[in-house]
């Protein structure tokens, strides 16, 4: 077939290509789409947040990862717990699991994980000043429902997320110690510069 004839044939075929028939039952659930969009936005934001208790310097990187994962699980549970009725709801299970205290925070080799004592009579090695990461995560999520608090976090975010290292009660409410990561490297290695910790107040 000559080149010009082939060009013409392709043009004709393209021109005569049958149109797509739009199905008559085509419809989309606007409400479900909006909910999913909001869920993703929230999840993406929370993904960039991690929470860790005090005494960060003493912790191995494994522990930081485990704590961040625990926070993500708690966050997922909180969201899914209020999901639409009837939807597949893995988060509800997660939330229930948390309530049962079954979420492993770190592997058995991690000394920071409070293990069940084999002999309850023996004294336990503890770090009493440490915060329970689950408690901190839950508290942070409660604060996260407050728009003014979220705005402060959003304003402080330099594009790499942040990590919450602890909290203290103050007369006006609760102050969270937050470090805003300054690079992707810091974020991926959970590196915190203690000199740059900021105190974000949740008034309640």
Residues that bind another protein (CB under 8 A): 1-2, 6-7, 9-11, 13-23, 26, 28, 30-31, 33-34, 36-37, 40-41
Of 27 and 119, nearer to another protein (C-beta) is: 27
Question: C-beta of 175: minimal distance to another protein in Å?
Answer: 31
Give the nearest distance from C-beta 152 to another protein in angstroms: 21
**Cβ proximity of 83 and 91 under 8 Å:** yes
Of 11 and 96, nearer to another protein (C-beta) is 11
Within a 10 A sphere around the Cβ of 165, how many other Cβ atoms?
Answer: 22
CA torsion, points 66, 155, 180, 199, in degrees to nearest 10?
Answer: -90
Nearest-approach distance from CB 88 to another protein, in angstroms: 16
CA 81 to chain centre: 15
- Rounded to 5 degrees, what angle do the CA atoms 193, 64, 55 make? 55
> Least separation, in Å, of the C-beta of 9 and another protein?
7
Q: Which residue's CB is nearer to another protein, number 34 or number 148?
A: 34
Beta carbon nearer to another protein, 18 or 120:
18
Q: Please report the sign of the dihedral spanned by the C-alpha atoms of residue 74, residue 76, residue 81, residue 86.
A: negative
């Amino acid at each position: 077939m000559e080149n010009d004839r082939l060009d013409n044939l392709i043009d004709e075929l393209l021109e005569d290509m049958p149109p797509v028939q739009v199905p008559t039952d085509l419809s989309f659930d606007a409400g479900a789409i909006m909910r999913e969009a909001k869920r993703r936005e929230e999840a993406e934001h929370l993904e960039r947040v991690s929470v860790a208790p005090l005494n960060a310097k003493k912790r191995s990187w494994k522990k930081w990862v485990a704590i961040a994962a625990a926070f993500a699980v708690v966050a997922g549970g909180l969201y899914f717990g209020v999901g639409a009725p009837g939807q597949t709801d893995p988060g509800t299970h997660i939330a229930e699991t948390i309530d049962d205290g079954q979420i492993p925070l770190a592997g058995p080799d991690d000394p920071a994980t409070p293990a069940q004592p084999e002999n309850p009579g023996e004294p336990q090695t503890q770090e009493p000043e440490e915060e329970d990461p689950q408690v901190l995560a839950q508290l942070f999520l409660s604060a996260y429902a407050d728009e003014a608090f979220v705005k402060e976090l959003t304003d402080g975010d330099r594009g790499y997320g942040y990590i919450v290292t602890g909290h203290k009660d103050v007369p006006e409410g609760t102050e969270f110690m937050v470090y805003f990561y300054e690079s992707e490297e810091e974020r991926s290695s959970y590196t915190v510069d203690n000199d740059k910790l900021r105190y974000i107040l949740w008034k309640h």
